[in-house]
Amino acid sequence: MSEGVVSLGPGSLYGAIERMTENGLIEPAPDAETPEGASRRRYFQITTRGRQTLQAESVRLQTVLAHVRRMGFDT
Amino acid sequence: MLIAMYRGVVRLFPAATRKSYGEDIVEAAASEWQLRRSRWGRWAYPGMIWWLVCDTAVSLPSAHLRNFQRVARRHREKAWTPTYDVNQGIRSQGQGEVMDWIREIKMAVRSLWRQRGFAGIAIVTLALGIGANTAIFSVIDGALLRPLPYDDPDGLVQLSDGHEDFGGAGINQSIPNLLDLRAGASLMEEAAIYTFASGNLATEERPERVRILRTSHEMLGVLGISPRLGRDLLPEDDISGSQAVAILTDETWRARFGADPGIVGRTTTMDMVPLEVVGVLPPDFSFPGTPELIMPLQHVGEEFSRGSRNYNAVGRLVGSSDIEALRDELEAIYSGLVAEYPSANEGWYTWAVPMRDFALPSGGQSIYLFAGAVALVLLIACVNVANLLIVRAEGRQAEFALRYSLGATRAGLIPLFLSEGLVLSMLGGLAGVIAARWGVEALVATFGGAIPRADQIHLSGTALAVGLATSVVVGLAVGLMPLLRTDPDHVLQQVKDGGRGSAGRGSRLGRGLVMAEIILAVLLVSGAGLLTRSVARIQEIELGVGDPERVLTFTVTLPAASYDEPPVIKRFHDDLLAQLERLPGVASVATVNRLPLMGGSNTTNFPAVAYPERVARFVSIRSASQHYFETLGVPLIAGRWLTPAEFSDEEGVTILANQTLAHQLFGDDDPVGQMVGPRWADGGLRIVGVVGDILGGNATGPAPPAFYFPASRNPTRDFSVMVKSTGRDPYALLPNIRQSIEGLNAEVPIYAIQTLEEIAESRLGTRGVAKKLFGTFALLALGLGAVGIYGVMSFTVAQRSKELGVRLALGASRGSVFLLVAEHGARLTVPGVVIGVVLSLVSASSPW
């Protein structure tokens, strides 16, 4: 998804999935099917709360970026 | 192989994580290994191992931390402590704070039910304190705090005269002066003139002596009150000689006329004069002096002396006028009256006070004293219960340690303790408020006339609200006290040490609180002791009468309309004595102008004829019937008794003197045969005998000088009767006595019925009342102090149970262990007793 930018180990990945599931940011996707011949996969989808949190986090990051730019750093 | 080894590492993850994502983690690792192997062959091993090690180093502790927080959250929710989700403010799901509190309270109730003995002691202790405070607040609220039951009471003023030689302001006024003041005062929109009188009112059962408020017709209008039945007084009622009318108070209407709905227009008699009832006042009507009915003054058309000061006035200020401005205006008018009528008004001045100051005199101050004592009792009760809860908390250290280890905070224990404190205080408050109802009745009955508006005092809604608020405050206070013993470091240290430990902060607090209790208890006990000694000293003083418990007394006032001549009055006296002497159970009967043991008598100055320089002052005048001294058991000290012939001789000059009078006039000389010459006795009076002293109305003073002469020489319409019973209960004679008097004249009531013993007790005044109440409080304080000491000693023993057990195991005797504990108790109580005694001595010797 990040085109290799973010690389998480399996423990960290599923730790993040566990955390986001407990906080209601993502949920298991009910209609996804594992493609034939592929190893078992689990699919998750973002929730409304997750979208709101992502939006809020995006705004926060943009605000920080704007502040950095105002300080004269080229980004 | 690598993935198989990694599968073993994944088993280190928490079970919940393994269950949900274990296979996914392993598969993710296997996918990555496959990718790397395909890219770098066997050179993928170091990178892959390093990658898994770094990932596991971060994700494994993180997973365990999440799991611990998840478990702690579950435990916290189960313990019903308000909590927030560990992820920064997202509240844990579930039931909300109100349900949390409800569960806490249910748990507190179950916990207290398991320790019913402890809970019972705490509830009873709090009930005593809260109930007593609710009762005393009811009395204060009803007597002093409630506004006067008039329309806009702050606009009412009481007028009076004043003279520096007669004690300043507060003296009655004369009708001519009041009429002039009323006419000239522009700041007073209306004023009513009134006075008090007594009369014999014919009622449903028998004639009753009643207290009458005689007033000009404006009174109810000035007070802003309307009769609930009938009409107000009219201007024509003020005219002298008009038909006598009356407005009854609600209590008089119910008690004496059976709440007859047809009372308006009914005719009865007052002093044998026809009286028409024209109205009934509302139930909440009250007026200083507690009149039983209102009648018109009937002053219009009558001549009144300007110097005859027997009246008062109540006025209403105009709008928002200031009383100071009214005083200035009245003083200006009065200056003119002084100038115009100097013989009546020279040296006098006029004064106005708010009605409230007149209606609620300083007698209420004693109530505040007792309120202070009762507040002390509540304080002691709270200290006790707080101590008991601290002891209880001491036994739950292991529970608190477990809570802390699972993530609870100290603040999270607050609802636990508050719930227990509130449950105890609300149950104690409920029991206390129920008991307060009887407490209010007991206080009113005990204080009697010392409390203003006593007839209107009851357990009010305000008092109930105060009781509820007190319960809540007490619950919060005692509930939070044990929190001092739940510092996490202290709790965990306690558990680690197995319950051993020096007495810490909380124990010192408990000891300090109990010492304060002991000091308070000693103060109250010493106060009660002082009062008891004072009362006992008064009671030890010889009254001068024998068997006062067997002598029944009552007062008679003959109506002037039928008894206006001395021979007529004397005949009634003689007939009454003859009737009563014939009654079964009567040992002897006598009449007198004023009862013994009572103050406020007629007095005169008594010079000795042979020694004109010797004058006895304020000598009590007693006109008595033949068997007076026999009825009272007064001894003859010298000389002889008056003979029956002398009792019948209306012109006789022989008298008896008491010991005090004889000594004052003649010292050690024989007084028998001496002549004394009061100004009103032409030719003087001869002392034929000396009788024993009888105490007067002053509880601690000596007997006043007195002389006695036959009632036949000066029969009075107002007189008292004493009937000595052969049996132990003189009240048993009352029905026959009433019948005898009704047989002579059905219109004549008897009143002020009491035994000589009751008169003697009333001489103690408020001291007797104070003794009873202080004694009760002292007993309460002692009992509560004992509970407090028990609480602290329980705490001490609980703290040292392991130490004591070790001592016993090492061979110490039970006696020595007991002495060890007792010594601790003594170290607790002795300093408190010493300080309490010192403070008592200091307060006893102070002028307050």
The pLDDT-based confidence of B222 (bands split at 50, 70, 90) is very high
CA distances for B699 relative to B450, B513, B540, B541, angstroms: 17, 41, 11, 9
Interchain CB distance below 8 Å, A12 and B28: no
| Mean pLDDT score, B431-438 | 88
Interchain CB distance below 8 Å, B28 and A14: yes
Q: Flag whether pLDDT at B671 surpasses 60.
A: yes
Q: Name chain A contacts of B24, Cβ cutoff 8 Å.
A: 10, 14, 42
Q: According to the model, what pLDDT value does residue B92 have?
A: 41
**pLDDT, averaged across chain B:** 82
Quote the DSSP letter at residue B89: T
Half-sphere exposure of B150 (CA within 13 A, CB side): 23
Structure tokens at B711: 């009632």
Nearest CB to A15; choose among B23, B63, B87: B63
The chain A residue lying nearest B51, using CA atoms, is A9
Interchain CB distance below 8 Å, A13 and B28: yes
The chain B residue lying nearest A41, using CA atoms, is B24
- High-pLDDT (> 70) share of chain B, %: 85
The chain A residue lying nearest B88, using CA atoms, is A23
Which residues are within 8 A (CB) of B523 and not within 5 positions of it... i.e. 6 or more apart? B836, B839, B840, B843
DSSP E strands in B625-746: the ranges are 636-639, 654-658, 675-676, 685-691, 706-710, 718-725
Express each pLDDT in A5-47 by its tens digit.
677 889 999 999 999 998 999 998 876 555 665 556 778 899 9
Most B-contacting residue of A6, A7, A8, A12 (CB-CB within 10 A), to test interface: A12
The chain A residue lying nearest B28, using CA atoms, is A10
Report the candidate in B388, B482, B430, B448 with the shortest Cα–Cα distance to residue B795.
Answer: B388
Q: What is the pTM of this model?
A: 0.58
Q: How far is CA B288 from the centre of its chain?
A: 20
The chain B residue lying nearest A9, using CA atoms, is B55
Determine contact: A8 vs chain B, CB below 8 A: yes
> Do the beta carbons of residue B353 and residue B157 sit within 8 Å?
yes
Residue B767 in 3-state DSSP? helix
Looking at chain B from residue 48 to 107, which residues have their Cβ under 8 Å from any Cβ of chain A?
Answer: 51-52, 54-56, 58-60, 62-63, 66, 70, 87, 90
The chain B residue lying nearest A10, using CA atoms, is B25
Compute the distance between CA of residue B845 and CA of residue B490 in angstroms, rounded to an integer. Answer: 47
Express each pLDDT in B731-780 by its tens digit.
999 999 999 998 998 888 888 898 888 887 766 555 566 666 667 767 77
> How far is A12 from chain B, CA to nearest CA, in Å?
5
> How far is A66 from chain B, CA to nearest CA, in Å?
26
Q: According to the model, what pLDDT value does residue B338 have?
A: 93
Structure tokens at B254: 């119910």
**Angle between the B814-845 and B766-799 helix axes, to the nearest 10 degrees?**
150
How many C-beta neighbours within 10 Å does residue B440 have?
22
Q: According to the model, what pLDDT value does residue B504 have?
A: 47
Compute the distance between CA of residue A24 and CA of residue B90 in angstroms, rounded to an integer. Answer: 11
The chain B residue lying nearest A21, using CA atoms, is B20
> Do the beta carbons of residue B364 and residue B143 sit within 8 Å?
yes
Interchain CB distance below 8 Å, B63 and A11: yes
- Which of B430-434, B682-686, B803-807 has the least mean pLDDT? B682-686
Express each pLDDT in B31-48 by its tens digit.
999 989 998 888 888 889
Nearest CB to B59; choose among A12, A39, A42: A12
> How far is A73 from chain B, CA to nearest CA, in Å?
32
Residue B425 in 3-state DSSP? helix
First to last CA, chain A: 23
The pLDDT-based confidence of A2 (bands split at 50, 70, 90) is low
Most B-contacting residue of A7, A8, A18 (CB-CB within 10 A), to test interface: A18
Q: According to the model, what pLDDT value does residue B80 have?
A: 45
Quote the DSSP letter at residue B490: H
CB-defined contacts A:B, below 8 A: 60
> How far is B405 from chain A, CA to nearest CA, in Å?
23
Interchain CB distance below 8 Å, B27 and A40: yes
How many C-beta neighbours within 10 Å does residue B324 have?
9
> How far is A27 from chain B, CA to nearest CA, in Å?
13
Interchain CB distance below 8 Å, A10 and B66: no
Biggest CA–CA distance in chain A, Å, is: 54
Q: Flag whether pLDDT at B676 surpasses 80.
A: yes
> How far is A21 from chain B, CA to nearest CA, in Å?
11
Q: Which residue has the higher pLDDT, B166 or B127?
A: B127
Nearest CB to B55; choose among A9, A17, A42: A9
**Angle between the A10-22 and B44-79 helix axes, to the nearest 10 degrees?**
20
Determine contact: B823 vs chain A, CB below 8 A: no
For residues B733, B735, B739, B742, the Cα torsion angle rounded to the nearest 10 degrees is 110
The pLDDT-based confidence of B84 (bands split at 50, 70, 90) is very low
Q: Flag whether pLDDT at B204 surpasses 60.
A: yes
> How far is B6 from chain A, CA to nearest CA, in Å?
11
Question: How high is the ipTM of this complex?
Answer: 0.83
Nearest CB to B29; choose among A10, A22, A42: A10
**Which of B260-274, B540-554, B777-791 has the largest mean confidence?**
B260-274
Compute the distance between CA of residue B792 and CA of residue B387 in angstroms, rounded to an integer. Answer: 7
Interchain CB distance below 8 Å, A18 and B20: yes
The pLDDT-based confidence of B579 (bands split at 50, 70, 90) is very high
Does the CA dihedral B581-B583-B587-B593 come out positive or negative?
negative
Interchain CB distance below 8 Å, B26 and A13: no
Nearest CB to A15; choose among B54, B62, B87: B62
Compute the distance between CA of residue B514 and CA of residue B788 in angstroms, rounded to an integer. Answer: 6
| Mean pLDDT score, B311-337 | 92
